[in-house]
Structures are given as structure tokens and as C-alpha cells.
């Protein structure tokens, strides 16, 4: 009877994590939660653990261990603490799929560990591929582990590519909502506050990715992500602003055909597809009424007002540790903007400055990625 897929959710209290739990709850004859991990939100982790009864939970913040341990003392749930524990628990034999829904660079080490343990990776953490895409894709190939994209655009591309194994891709049309400030002029962005930037018109997402959407860095990170996931050259990846967020991306083939994947702007669709792949599972609330959609429109991104997109193209074209420099600078700049220590328009300036000033390493090792990341963080944290 027991042939449910066992799922480890890294980052279960975040936006993707909670939506993944909703998918599992509504399809509990197919999926079972095996591991839950959280950084600081002990209360929600405890609540999720009591509801979903995983084998194991990890609280990354060690100070919160006693609280979680005490709350789960009458259960069989194993409780661990510390970031290193996440790397261990993803290797447990009962796990089939590891959903990496951690924020930022912190997703890298657990992803490497899960790939080495030959787990199917459902990847919601784009920064892992941005920083170390070459290393991760090579490692996944060596271990014959599939990386199933959970980012909505990449899930769309992945779906468009089904059945097209032998057909070369002419280009990827990567759609973008345009973020909170689409159509604005630079002068209008001078006094932006975090709460203005945190309003994405279509998607309900975490803070980091919502700010990244507003600067268009999210699309830049996704160009790099698509390059590594699908082996398409950056010059053949074209960002398209599609404000309705109904088409989640497109693939253009040599014969002039363009395939698109459409659906509600609901992250549970790519989450469900990654969990059920290659099958499709019924989930009635995800259905979209095609007659309720008005026009679908497409425009070119404004790279003058939003320079982050070009920074990302530069980073991936030069390669080496430059995407890692860009990513670390972006993570710090976004955090400083959220803390109201810098202005919105300083975000791309800080990233560009970091990309020009830190030492370029053409062929980085894994250690180089970590040292680049911490050097950039330390320097920028000291400056701002």
C-alpha cells in the first residue's frame, strides 16, 4: 500500500514551503512529508510538525532547539538544530524528493548533499544555480539525479520541452510580470519605500524574490537559471514582459512554432508538477477559467530604468565567479534596502560596483564560490 512519495521540504515555513504543504495535504494519498526545516520560525515549524507528522524536523537557529524539542516531546519526531543538520537529514534513506525552498545562497550546500545522496531535486532556490550552476548540473548528471524546476517560468519551459528531446531550441522566451514599478521612470523611483516594492501585482511570494521582481534582478537570476537547467546560451534567452502572468514562459523552435504553458499565477502548479512528474495530478482549485482572461500582452523590458537584467547577462557571459559576486551583492543590497539603509536605485549601483571591484576567478572551485560569497557579504555589510 505504502508507495507514497516521501518529501523533504527545506524551508517549510516560507512562501513556497507553506504552499508545498498545502499541495501535500490535498494529495495525501500520493505524498507524505518526511522532513521539515525552518530557519527561525519555530512556532510555525512546530505547528506544521504536529499536523504533518514528519520523521524529522530541523530548526537552523540553534537557540530555538529547546523550544522545538519541548513542543514535540510527546511525538516520535526527531528534532535537530543547526544549518549543518540540514545537509545530513536530506540524505535519509526514506526520502524520495528534496524540495529546496531555502532563500538565497544558503540553498547550495544542502542541494549538493541531496544530489550526492541521489535524491530527486525539486528546486525552488534559483540562487543555487546562479552561483554554482556548472558544478551543480555536472554533479546531478554524474549522480543521474533529475533537477525539477519549481520556479514557475522554468517549470513552464520544462513542460514545453516534454517530447522535444531531439528538437533544438531556437530560443527561450522568459516571461516577467514586470514587478511593482513597470512603466515607471527613474525619477519616480527615487523615494521608493520597501512596502511599495513589496507589492507584486500578480504573485504571492517571499520578500527577497518580490524585491528582486521590482528591480528585474529576479529575471536576471532566472536567465542564468534557465541557461544551466536547459543548456541554452544566454543570447538565446529573451526576457519578455507579460504583465498578466498567464503565460509562464515559452519555447521557440526552429520551425517557427512557439509553445507556451499557461495557467493561474499560483506557485502550487509548478510545485505539484515537480512532485507528480511525469504524471499530472488533479487539483480542482488550480483550474483557470480561460474566458475570464482578457488580453495577453508582451513588451520589451526597460533595461535603462532597471539595469539589473543586463548585469545578469554580463555575469553569465563572463562566467567564473562573477555570478556569485553578483548574487551576494544583490542579497546584501536587497537586505539593506528592506532595512531602509539604502535607496531602491542604489541596489543596481551596489551590484555593478561589486562586479567591477572583486577579484575575478575564471575557473572557480566550490571553495572559491564560498570565499567569494563571504568576501562580498563582509565588505558590503561593512560599507552599508
Stretch that binds Mn ion, among 22-30, 152-160, 291-299, 361-369 (CB under 5 A): 152-160
Stretch that binds Mn ion, among 79-87, 148-156, 173-181, 191-199 (CB under 5 A): 148-156
DSSP readout, 69-108?
HHHTTTSS-EEEESHHHHHHHTT-TT--EEEE---GGGGH
CA distances for 383 relative to 260, 322, 349, 377, angstroms? 44, 20, 13, 10
Closest approach of Mn ion to the CB of residue 60, in Å: 24
Whether the upstream peptide bond of residue 278 has omega within 30° of 0, thus cis, is yes
Stretch that binds Mn ion, among 143-151, 265-273, 311-319, 332-340 (CB under 5 A): 143-151
Number of residues located near Mn ion, criterion CB under 5 A: 3
115 versus 216: smaller Cβ distance to Mn ion: 216
113 versus 245: smaller Cβ distance to Mn ion: 245
What is the number of other CB atoms lying within 10 angstroms of the CB of residue 287? 10
Which of these, 125, 80, 97, lies nearest to 32 by C-alpha position?
A: 97
42 versus 209: smaller Cβ distance to Mn ion: 209
Stretch that binds Mn ion, among 26-34, 147-155, 238-246, 273-281 (CB under 5 A): 147-155
153 versus 252: smaller Cβ distance to Mn ion: 153
135 versus 150: smaller Cβ distance to Mn ion: 150
Closest approach of Mn ion to the CB of residue 242, in Å: 12
What is the number of other CB atoms lying within 10 angstroms of the CB of residue 182? 19
Stretch that binds Mn ion, among 1-9, 17-25, 146-154, 230-238 (CB under 5 A): 146-154
217 versus 380: smaller Cβ distance to Mn ion: 217
* Contact status: 225 vs Mn ion (CB under 5 A): no
Q: Strands of 5-10's sheet, edge to edge?
A: 78-81, 56-59, 31-38, 5-10, 97-100, 120-123, 147-149
Closest approach of Mn ion to the CB of residue 248, in Å: 8
Closest approach of Mn ion to the CB of residue 179, in Å: 11
Closest approach of Mn ion to the CB of residue 261, in Å: 13
Which residue of the chain is nearest Mn ion when measured via CB? 151
Stretch that binds Mn ion, among 87-95, 150-158, 191-199, 239-247 (CB under 5 A): 150-158
CA distances for 193 relative to 100, 185, 214, 244, angstroms? 30, 16, 12, 24
Q: What b/e readout covers 209-228, taking b as 16+ CB neighbours within 10 angstroms?
A: bbbbbbbbbbbbbbbbbbbb
212 versus 252: smaller Cβ distance to Mn ion: 212
List the Cα angle 248/254/258 in 5-degree steps: 25
What is the number of other CB atoms lying within 10 angstroms of the CB of residue 236? 15
List the Cα angle 25/27/28 in 5-degree steps: 65
* Contact status: 151 vs Mn ion (CB under 5 A): yes
33 versus 103: smaller Cβ distance to Mn ion: 103
Interface residues with Mn ion (CB under 5 A)?
151-153
Amino acid at each position: 500500500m505504502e508507495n507514497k512519495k516521501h518529501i523533504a521540504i527545506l524551508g517549510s515555513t516560507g512562501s513556497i514551503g507553506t504552499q508545498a504543504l498545502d499541495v501535500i495535504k490535498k494529495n495525501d494519498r500520493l505524498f507524505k512529508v518526511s522532513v521539515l526545516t525552518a530557519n527561525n520560525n519555530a512556532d510555525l515549524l512546530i505547528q506544521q510538525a504536529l499536523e504533518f507528522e514528519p520523521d524529522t524536523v530541523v530548526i537552523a537557529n540553534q537557540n530555538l532547539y529547546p523550544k522545538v524539542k519541548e513542543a514535540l516531546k510527546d511525538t516520535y519526531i526527531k528534532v535537530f538544530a543547526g544549518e549543518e543538520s540540514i545537509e545530513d537529514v536530506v540524505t535519509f534513506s526514506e526520502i524520495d524528493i528534496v524540495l529546496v525552498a531555502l532563500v538565497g545562497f544558503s540553498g547550495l550546500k544542502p542541494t549538493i548533499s541531496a544530489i550526492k545522496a541521489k535524491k530527486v531535486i525539486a528546486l525552488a532556490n534559483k540562487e543555487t544555480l546562479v552561483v554554482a550552476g556548472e558544478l551543480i548540473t555536472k554533479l546531478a548528471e554524474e549522480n543521474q539525479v533529475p533537477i525539477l524546476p519549481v520556479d514557475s517560468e522554468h517549470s513552464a519551459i520544462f513542460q514545453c520541452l516534454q517530447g522535444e528531446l531531439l528538437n533544438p531550441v531556437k530560443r527561450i522566451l522568459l516571461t516577467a510580470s514586470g514587478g511593482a514599478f513597470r512603466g515607471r521612470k527613474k525619477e519616480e523611483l527615487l523615494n521608493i519605500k520597501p512596502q511599495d516594492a513589496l507589492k507584486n501585482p500578480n504573485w504571492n511570494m517571499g520578500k527577497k524574490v518580490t524585491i528582486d521582481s521590482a528591480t528585474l534582478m529576479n529575471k536576471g537570476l532566472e536567465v542564468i537559471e534557465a541557461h544551466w537547467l536547459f543548456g541554452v546560451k544566454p543570447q538565446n534567452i529573451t526576457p519578455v514582459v507579460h504583465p498578466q502572468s498567464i503565460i509562464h514562459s515559452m519555447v521557440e523552435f526552429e520551425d517557427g512554432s512557439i509553445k507556451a504553458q499557461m495557467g493561474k499565477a499560483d506557485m502550487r502548479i509548478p510545485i505539484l508538477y515537480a512532485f507528480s512528474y511525469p504524471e499530472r495530478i488533479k487539483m480542482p482549485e488550480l483550474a483557470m477559467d480561460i474566458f475570464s482572461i482578457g488580453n495577453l500582452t508582451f513588451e520589451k523590458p526597460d533595461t535603462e530604468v532597471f539595469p539589473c537584467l543586463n548585469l545578469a547577462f554580463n555575469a553569465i557571459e563572463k562566467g567564473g565567479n562573477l555570478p556569485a559576486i553578483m548574487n551576494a551583492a544583490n542579497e546584501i543590497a536587497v537586505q539593506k534596502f528592506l532595512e531602509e539603509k539604502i535607496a531602491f536605485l542604489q541596489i543596481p549601483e551596489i551590484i555593478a560596483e561589486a562586479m567591477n571591484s572583486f577579484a575575478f576567478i575564471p575557473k572557480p572551485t566550490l571553495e572559491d564560490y564560498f570565499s567569494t560569497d563571504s568576501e562580498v557579504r563582509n565588505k558590503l555589510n561593512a560599507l552599508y
